[in-house]
Amino acid sequence: MEPIKNPDVKYTKLFINNEFVDAVNGKTFPTLNPVNEEKIVDIQAADKDDIDVAVAAAKEAFKRGSVWRTMDASARGELIYKLAELVKRDIVYLASLETLDNGKPFMFAMGDMQASINVLKYHAGIADKINGKTIPVDGDNFCYTRREPFGVCGCIIPWNFPAMMFVYKIAPALATGNTIVIKPAEQTPLSALYLAALIKEAGFPPGVVNVVPGFGPTAGAAISSHPEIRKIAFTGSTMVGKKVMEAAAQSNLKKVTLELGGKSPLIIMPDANVDEALAVSHMGVFYNMGQVCIASSRLFVHEDIYDDFVRKSVELAKKKCVGDPFDLKMQAGPQVNEIQMKKILELIESGKQQGARLQCGGSRFGDKGYFVQPTVFSDVKEDMRIYKEEIFGPVQSIIKFKTTEEVIEMANNTTYGLAAGVFTKDINTYQTIVNALEAGFVWVNQYLNSGAQAPFGGYKMSGIGRERGEEGVHEYTQVKTIFVKQPKCAKM
């Protein structure tokens, strides 16, 4: 499919109570095209007053006796399925909008939209299959549980997968009967606002979903600390995740799920299929210009194949086509903004200064837009910043190891624990490594592949809770236990 190279931006206002409205204070902010650094459009900027209005709408939609609160679970599922079909109808426009606002290559944006459709359809199907349990307690008692919605849920999403993260948050919340106030990242609000229009078109009642673009210290902080929001889901950096959790605790102890940073290891054993491991490890760190929380940003390669693997990795990186993301020949676009580009370049410079060997790249690409050259470092050591810090850019750090025990220890030597992977043909080796890795999602002889059915989340400082799958649905419910005294049977 061909992209729409200059998609018309239809929505720039806040979406509250099924209407597009101006911010209370009338302030706006620009969203920029990362390819040419030019303004696309001005967006209404939500702050605390707007969050209060949105929460009030969501609370009204959830009140006892409301259309949403009394709707059959199967009917909720039908609405979610209709939303999926609308996304499918407008997939080219949505992907084009995402490419314009985010800078990711159009075909990758199309992949994001298809993944979003899959997630919506999964949750449409699970909406009427969220079950409690009957529990065989002692005595003349009948005990059972119900999974019930929290009410108003707050969601804060990142800029690297704007539409997909939007869907990851709203789908389980809607399937379980909650209402939502969601803040897209200020860098990439366009697809979220268009999805808001599709939510209205699908027939969701007013107030069920409210979309409030704005900045973290204002709109995000107001969501995190709002006393009427009972659950919050955040995807982003560990640093900001800590602030969200602190605000949630200090306000009303709202339920928190956090999907945070990563510094994920990918281990290449000497018996691996080298060609497959090369291709996968390349995509694992350079996909989406490295702006992926699960990026395989620490590549551990056994000493027996290390030199050859480094040489071939450099060849792949040098061949990567970087440029206009609307050009279907391009494999990489710009970073999302100037701040991100400068952060990446600063970390690349630290790698040079700390003694890592720069094999290729290492600089800005071109003089317009936020492009960074695909970069490969070898001879990376555990005390280097590029080994320890999340770069969130197109930088591959390759580390040599000798033994299985050594690489397990190195892989786990991080405060993060989001994802990991291993390439080997030996079942005993992969089981040993997989069982020892401290990560929430582990791949064997592949990387990045996933699905709506598979729970995703991190260990350690990579997060709390899970998204997707049954576990992700349960994050949006609270368990009520009912204990019933059973009458004694009359004697015959």
- How far is 305 from 319, CA to CA, in rounded Å? 22
- How far is 438 from 66, CA to CA, in rounded Å? 45
Confidence at residue 491, expressed as pLDDT on a 0 to 100 scale: 62
- How far is 274 from 280, CA to CA, in rounded Å? 10
Of 113, 77, 75, nearest to 194 by C-alpha is: 113
Quickly count: other Cβ atoms within 10 Å of residue 357's Cβ.
Answer: 13
DSSP codes, 146-158: EEEE-SEEEEE--
Structure tokens at 285: 């760190």
Contact 243, 217 (CB under 8 A): no
3-state DSSP helix/strand/coil percent for the chain, to nearest 5? Answer: 40, 20, 40
Q: What b-and-e string marks burial along 170-206, b requiring 16 or more CB atoms within 10 Å of the CB?
A: bbbbbbbbbbbbbbbbbbbbbbbbbbbbbbbebebbb
CATH 3.40.309.10 residue window(s) in the chain: 265-444
- How far is 243 from 222, CA to CA, in rounded Å? 12
In this prediction, residue 337 has a pLDDT band, given cuts at 50, 70 and 90, of very high
Inform me whether the pLDDT recorded for 1 exceeds 90.
no
- How far is 340 from 322, CA to CA, in rounded Å? 17
Confidence at residue 486, expressed as pLDDT on a 0 to 100 scale: 85
Percent of residues, the chain, with pLDDT higher than 70: 99
Instruction: Provide the CATH topology of domain 14-260+458-479.
Output: Aldehyde Dehydrogenase; Chain A, domain 1 (3.40.605)
Inform me whether the pLDDT recorded for 117 exceeds 90.
yes
Contact 53, 228 (CB under 8 A): no
Contact 185, 157 (CB under 8 A): yes
Confidence at residue 32, expressed as pLDDT on a 0 to 100 scale: 98
Confidence at residue 239, expressed as pLDDT on a 0 to 100 scale: 96
Amino acid at position 452, single letter: A
For 287-327, strand residue ranges (E) read 298-302
The question of whether 471 is a catalytic residue gets the answer no
Confidence at residue 469, expressed as pLDDT on a 0 to 100 scale: 97
Each residue's pLDDT tens digit, 356-392: 999 999 999 999 999 999 999 999 999 999 999 999 9
- pLDDT mean over 143-168: 98
Confidence at residue 330, expressed as pLDDT on a 0 to 100 scale: 96
- How far is 421 from 440, CA to CA, in rounded Å? 11
CATH 3.40.605.10 residue window(s) in the chain: 14-260+458-479
266: part of which helix (H) or strand (E)?
A: strand 265-268
Quickly count: other Cβ atoms within 10 Å of residue 269's Cβ.
Answer: 22
State the catalytic residue, choosing from 2, 78, 148, 259: 259
State how far the alpha carbon of 104 is from the alpha carbons of 160, 298, 458, in Å: 9, 23, 25
Each residue's pLDDT tens digit, 24-54: 999 999 999 999 999 999 999 999 999 999 9
Confidence at residue 216, expressed as pLDDT on a 0 to 100 scale: 97
Each residue's pLDDT tens digit, 281-318: 999 999 999 999 999 999 999 999 999 999 999 999 99
298: part of which helix (H) or strand (E)?
A: strand 298-302
- pLDDT mean over 388-397: 98
> What's the CATH code, domain 265-444?
3.40.309.10
Inform me whether the pLDDT recorded for 465 exceeds 70.
yes
Inform me whether the pLDDT recorded for 227 exceeds 80.
yes
Positive or negative: CA dihedral 465, 467, 471, 474: positive
Confidence at residue 329, expressed as pLDDT on a 0 to 100 scale: 96
Each residue's pLDDT tens digit, 232-289: 999 999 999 999 999 999 999 999 999 999 999 999 999 999 999 999 999 999 999 9
Quickly count: other Cβ atoms within 10 Å of residue 63's Cβ.
Answer: 12
Confidence at residue 147, expressed as pLDDT on a 0 to 100 scale: 98
Give the residue, 348 or 489, on which the prediction is more confident.
348
Quickly count: other Cβ atoms within 10 Å of residue 207's Cβ.
Answer: 26
Inform me whether the pLDDT recorded for 490 exceeds 80.
no
- How far is 244 from 319, CA to CA, in rounded Å? 41
Confidence at residue 204, expressed as pLDDT on a 0 to 100 scale: 98
Inform me whether the pLDDT recorded for 119 exceeds 70.
yes
- How far is 225 from 249, CA to CA, in rounded Å? 8
| β-sheet bridge partners, residue 422 | 267, 444
CA torsion, ordered 426, 429, 432, 434, to nearest 10 deg: -70
Confidence at residue 492, expressed as pLDDT on a 0 to 100 scale: 60
| β-sheet bridge partners, residue 255 | 231
- How far is 84 from 195, CA to CA, in rounded Å? 10
State how far the alpha carbon of 237 is from the alpha carbons of 49, 216, 424, in Å: 25, 12, 31
Inform me whether the pLDDT recorded for 410 exceeds 80.
yes
Each residue's pLDDT tens digit, 129-152: 999 999 999 999 999 999 999 999
